[in-house]
Structure 1
Amino acid sequence: MFRGDGYEYWSVRMKTILISRDLWDLVIEGVNEAEKDAGKLNNAQKKDAHAMAIIQQVVHDQLFSRIAAASSAKKTWEILKLEFQGDTQVKAIKLLGLRREFENLAMRESEAVGDYFGWVMALVSQKRAYGEEISDQTVVKKVLRSLTPKFDYVVPSIEVGHDLSKLTPGVFAITRREDE
Structure 2
Amino acid sequence: MAKNYGILVCLLIIALDVVAGILGIEAEMAQNKVRHLKMWIFECRDPSYQAFKLGLAAILFLPLAHIIANLLGGCTCMWSKEDFVKASATRKLAVASLFFSWIILAIGFTMLIIGTMANSKSRKSCGLSYHHILSIGGILCFIHGIFAVAYYVSATASARDHSRHRTPATSQA
Q: TM-score, normalised by structure 2?
A: 0.31
Which structure has the higher relative contact order (CA within 8 Å, separation 6+)? 2
Q: TM-score, normalised by structure 1?
A: 0.30
